Each structure stands twice: as structure tokens, then as C-alpha cells.
Amino acid sequence: MPQPPSSLQLGGSLLTKSPKQARGTAQRPEWFGYYAGYSTSFVDEALTYLNLDQDARVLDPWNGSGTTTDVVERRGFHGVGYDLNPAVVIVARARLLRSDVRPSHRSLGKVIVRDSARLAAADFLDGEPLSAWFSPKAAAALRGIERAIQRDLISPTEYVRIAAKGSLSDISPLAAYYYVALFRTVRRLLAGFKTSNPTWTRFPESPRHRLRPSTQVIHAAFDEEVERMFMGIEEAPAVTSSAQVDLGDSTSIKLGRHEVDAVVSSPPYCTRIDYAVSMRPELAVLGMTALEFRALRLSMLGCTILGAASTSTAVPDDWGASCAQLLDGIRRHPSHGSASYYYPTHVNYFASLFASYAEIARVLRPGGRAILVVQDSYYKELHTDLQAVTSQMCQGLGLTLELRRDYSSRNTKAAVNTRRLKYRNTADATESVLVFSRS
């Protein structure tokens, strides 16, 4: 495992909490489990370490399910969170719902269920994406709930597929709350299609193997999820603050130069985890078509499919020596597909990563700081030292590494992949908290 530079402070009493959520300690275990998430306690400690003014603006360009924006808003700062995946944006917006709203959750849930019965039309959407797992009748019942949420809480006159929207700012935390309840309902019904890979939900072997829960079972499951989630709604913060959560690309952040005081985030690791695939059931709830799904996969950092991938062997000097050495090793590796597939997908990953770090440097004010959580990995026996790559890229962009703290991580995707044993015995990884300051 890589050793941190000896000249750096290794945290001491600062940032002592592991970024990853420890089992059984989730603040809101009944809401939404996100594979790539980190803990609320880590973000809370990171904000304390940053010692920000109360009017500070904190950005997470890979906001995921919204842990950063949730904690930032509760601490009274102004949060900004972006993500390309509309399903996790919905989750992040739902997490902003506080107890001061105090919706009559049972009665509103009953209204949604009642209205869904009139809206459960078969083939409402061309190529209904939920029919990949559910019979036409069951898919129609689930779509009816989704349509009722839209009609009752977003727009009473016009239905718009959430997956087709360019912004989700019109979806209130209350509306998002019921969407998450529907996400959980679908996941609950799909329990039999889970696999050992935590990011993958398998499909039925044939249409006749699709699930056929009754409308009554679907409605009862939705009611139960609404009730379970309500118990996790947190108290409103004592300090008035705001959180801006929407669709956005880390390589083109929708903010001006020097607009944020701090960044707390974790870029997708170079571990070939397809985050769009991991959320496919939720994206189906949002009506995402096959073409839109492919476009989302291609746009996300860490994409595992070839699109307009570069096959150039030239690596920009700005990416640093560690990145160049790794890419050269992958390109020359004798294993099948190294040069033709793995090399271009890695090039795409590092190109997007560098563009994202450049955007962070652009929007961060002078004197501001960025706390990034990264994890190393391996390509065959080649070590992907993402800590070194990140440090070298950021240094060239005017960001100085002031602190690094390492943690051993055994909860990795490599642990379920026995083919790695041909190249290495361990599946452990080093996860690191890197703190950069903007010159």
C-alpha cells in the first residue's frame, strides 16, 4: 500500500473519523442505501476542521445521495450539490425535508395511492422501463403512483418524465420524499433479483419470469415505506441556511470563478463501478429510456463502456507522472483487451477527473480549501495510486496538499472478484482524506 508523504500532517486529532459509513451506524438507516456514500459524521467533522464563516458556501460536485448538502444545510452553511444522475439528485433533495414541514404524511400518502388507481394506465410510457422486471399490470400500478406524485406535488396539469428534465429544482423536498418512498418500494419488490455484486440488479430470464405483485401489495408496500421514512426526518436547523441541489456535471460546474469557500466531496474511484447501472431500477421509476440510460453512462466519470474514447497514447503532462506511468503500463500490459479497451476507458476517466479538478480550482476562492476522499485500486497487478494522481493533478492547478489521512478499507468490489487472485492476493484498499488549499 502507498505510504503518505512524511512532510504532511497525518491528521492528529483532526479528521479522525473514517469517511465510510460504519455498519449499523447510519443516521437514517431506513431511507436510502447508496453504495458510494460516506458518513454524515465524516462531513460534520470535516466542516468543523474547515472552521468556516457562517455565510460560507460549500460545494460537492459529486453530491450523490446528498450527505454533504444535508450536513452543510443542517450546520447553517450554504450548500451546493450537483450530480449527473437524476435518481440520486431526487434522493439528495428528499434529505433536505425537515421536521418543521410536518406533512400529514399518512393522509398525503393515501391521496397519492388513491389517485394512482385512476392513473395506472397500461403502456402510458412507450417502452415502459419498469416492464423490464414487472408484468404490464404491476408496472402500470407503479407508474400510477409516480404519476400521482407528479400530479399532486409537482404539476397538476402536465406530466413530464423526470429523466428528460434538464433541472430538478422544481421538485420540492416533499415531492422528492415520496419519490424515494417509491424507489424503496421498487427495491423491496426486486429483492429476489439482488446479486453478490452490490451494484447490480439482475433481470428476469424471460418475460414470463417477471414479477407480478398485485396492485394491493404494491400500494401496501408504498404505504409502509412512507411510514418508515417519516421516522427518519430530522429536526430543522436552528440557523437559517440554504442548499442548492440539482443536476450538474463536475467537468463543467455551473458556478462562477471563486464562488465557493470550500469543497467536500469524493470523486468516483477508478474501480470500474458503473454508478448508473447501480441505480437502474430508480432510473426506470423516473422513466429513463434505453438511449437516455446509455447517454448517462457515457457522461459519468468512471464509465465502463466505450463511446467516443480516445485511443491516443499521448498523455498530457498536466496529468502528472504517476498517471502517465500507470496508463503506459496498462497500454503495454499483455492481458486481453488492455490496449484496446482498458487503456481508452482509463484515459477517459483521467481526462474527466482532471477536468473536474480544474473546475474545482476555478470555483474555489483564494484561501479556500477542498477536502477530497479518494481510494487506490489495481489494474491486474498495476497499482492505481489515485492519491498520487490527485495530488499531482491538483498541484498543477494551484491547489496545495496540506493534509493527508489514510484508512484501510476492506469493503471493496475487488473482494467479490476472485479473478484478481491471478495477479494479487489482497483485495484491501487504502482510502485517503486529502485536504488541499487554494493559493
Average pLDDT over residues 146-165: 96
Burial 296-313 (b: 16+ CB within 10 A, else e): bbeebbbbbeeeebeeee
Q: For residue 92, how many other CB atoms are within 10 A of its CB?
A: 32
- Residue 163's pLDDT is 97
Average pLDDT, the chain: 88
- Residue 195's pLDDT is 86
Handedness of CA 95, 96, 97, 100 (dihedral sign): positive
Instruction: Tell me the pLDDT band of 176, cut-offs 50, 70 and 90.
Output: very high
- Find, among 97, 103, 258, the residue nearest to 177 by Cα: 97
Q: Picking from 36-45, 102-111, 197-206, which range would have the lowest pLDDT averaged per residue?
A: 102-111
Share of the chain above pLDDT 70, in %: 84
pLDDT tens digits for range 84-130? 999 999 999 999 987 666 667 778 999 999 999 999 998 899 999 99
- Residue 90's pLDDT is 97
Average pLDDT over residues 284-303: 94
Q: Specify which residues 434 forms β-bridges with.
A: 372, 404
Q: Which residues contact 431 (CB under 8 A, 6 or more apart)?
A: 18, 19, 20, 373, 374, 375, 406, 407, 408, 409
pLDDT tens digits for range 294-306? 999 999 988 888 7
- Residue 44's pLDDT is 92
Q: Are 301 and 353 in contact (CB under 8 A)?
A: yes
What are the backbone dihedrals phi and psi of residue 56, each rounded to the nearest 5 degrees, phi first? -65, 150
- Residue 91's pLDDT is 95
Q: Which residues contact 91 (CB under 8 A, 6 or more apart)?
A: 31, 32, 34, 65, 66, 176, 180, 183
Distance CA 431, CA 312 (A): 30
- Grid look-up 442548492 returns 244
Q: Picking from 164-178, 305-319, 322-336, 389-403, which range would have the lowest pLDDT averaged per residue?
A: 305-319
Distance CA 186, CA 169 (A): 24
pLDDT tens digits for range 54-67? 999 999 999 999 99
Taking the domains of the chain in order of start, what are their residue ranges? 40-85+242-438, 105-230
Write the CATH number of the domain with boundaries 40-85+242-438.
3.40.50.150
DSSP character at residue 39: -
Cell of 135: 408484468
Share of the chain above pLDDT 90, in %: 72
Distance CA 331, CA 314 (A): 11
Cell of 105: 404524511
Distance CA 433, CA 435 (A): 7
Distance CA 366, CA 349 (A): 27
Is the predicted pLDDT of residue 23 greater than 50, yes or no? no
- Residue 1's pLDDT is 38
Distance CA 431, CA 439 (A): 26
- Residue 285's pLDDT is 98
Cell of 253: 460546474
* Helix (H), strand (E) counts: the chain: 13, 9
